[in-house]
């Protein structure tokens, strides 16, 4: 398995000079809303366990609801080999601490921090450039780009 990437030109401003350079950026091989759902995960997990897809899907849905309840209590949730979910709060500044009432405080973000082992394992996964022909306009493809494309397999999920 390889993580797909595409190349994009970005502006790099160093010491006041603007220089455009090419960089690798992650390419999600999916249409909007086309990520893996809890139902998809349930099918995938059921292939490797004795639990049914329905049981697993129910557990995943219940897990999400339970994580939400724990976060609402102001606590974090750590799942071994996956990571930790936690919230961050914000409020505007006040001169007197008594002015910071519950109505002035809100959740600014929900964080997920990957488990160190998961992060390490993901860093070991190789990357694969998506052939230029899948995202560059035909008129911008150079001969060199087309030759490079000929040496690469099409990533899964690309038509």
Q: Does residue 62 fall inside a structural domain?
A: yes
Residues 79-99 have pLDDT tens digits of 999 999 999 999 999 898 889
Q: Does residue 86 fall inside a structural domain?
A: no
* Secondary structure of the chain in HEC code, one letter for each residue: CCEEEEEEEEEEEECCEEEEEEEEEECCCCCCCCCCCHHHHHHHHHCCCCCCHHHHHHHHHHHHHHHHHHHHCCCCEEECCCEEEEEEEECCCCCCHHHCCHHHCEEEEEEEEECHHHHHHHHCCCEEECCHHHCCCHHHCCHHHHHHHHCCCCCCCCC
Q: Tell me the percentage of the chain whose pLDDT exceeds 70.
A: 91
Count of the separate structural domains present in the chain? 2
| Judgement on whether residues 45 and 67 belong to the same structural domain of the protein | yes
Residue numbers of the domain that contains 7:
1-29+130-159
Q: Tell me the percentage of the chain whose pLDDT exceeds 90.
A: 56
Q: Does residue 15 fall inside a structural domain?
A: yes
Q: Does residue 139 fall inside a structural domain?
A: yes
Rounded to two decimals, the pTM is 0.72
């Amino acid at each position: 398995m390889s993580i797909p990437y595409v190349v994009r030109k970005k502006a790099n401003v160093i010491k006041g000079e603007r220089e455009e350079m090419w960089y690798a950026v992650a390419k999600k091989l999916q249409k909007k809303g086309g990520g893996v759902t809890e139902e998809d995960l349930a099918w995938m997990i059921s292939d490797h366990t004795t639990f049914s897809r329905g049981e697993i899907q129910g557990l995943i849905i219940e897990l999400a609801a339970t994580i939400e309840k724990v976060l609402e209590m102001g606590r974090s949730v750590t799942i071994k080999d996956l990571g930790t979910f936690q919230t961050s709060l914000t409020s505007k500044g006040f001169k007197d601490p008594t002015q910071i009432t519950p109505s002035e405080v809100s959740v600014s973000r929900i964080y997920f921090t990957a488990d160190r082992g998961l992060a390490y394992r993901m860093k070991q996964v190789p990357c694969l450039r998506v052939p230029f022909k899948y995202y560059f306009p035909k008129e911008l493809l150079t001969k060199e780009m087309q030759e490079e494309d000929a040496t690469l397999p099409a990533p899964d999920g690309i038509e």
